[in-house]
Amino acid sequence: MSKRIGIVGIVVEDLACVERVNAVLHEYSSLIVGRMGLPYRERGVSVISLIVDGSNDEISALTGKLGRISGATVKSMIAKTNQ
């Protein structure tokens, strides 16, 4: 299966769900090339950006699990070219 590079953005609006978000990220750590997390205290949210490298199915599974966590919003963008 071909691999693609992508970006996953996560906005954590309810800090009570951070533990579940981190558990999913740990489960899919083999896909994560880089991670940056920033608290935005003025807005009461945290923003996490991920660089991922994996198949479409693997990246979709990651974003699907994250998207089912109440209190977090997830969006992804995958490169068109295969590696």
Q: With bands split at pLDDT 50, 70 and 90, how would you rate the model's confidence at 83?
A: low
Summarised one tens digit per residue, pLDDT across range 28-37 is 999 999 999 9
Name the region of 79 (left: φ>0; alpha: ψ -120 to 50; beta: rest). beta
The domains of the chain, with CATH numbers, are 4-78 (3.30.70.1150)
pLDDT of residue 71: 97
The string of DSSP codes covering 11-44 is EES-GGGHHHHHHHHHHTGGGEEEEEEEEETTTT
DSSP 8-state assignment for residue 69: S
- Is residue 81 pLDDT above 80, yes or no? no
Average pLDDT over residues 6-22: 96
Average pLDDT over residues 74-83: 86
Q: Whole-prediction pTM value?
A: 0.91
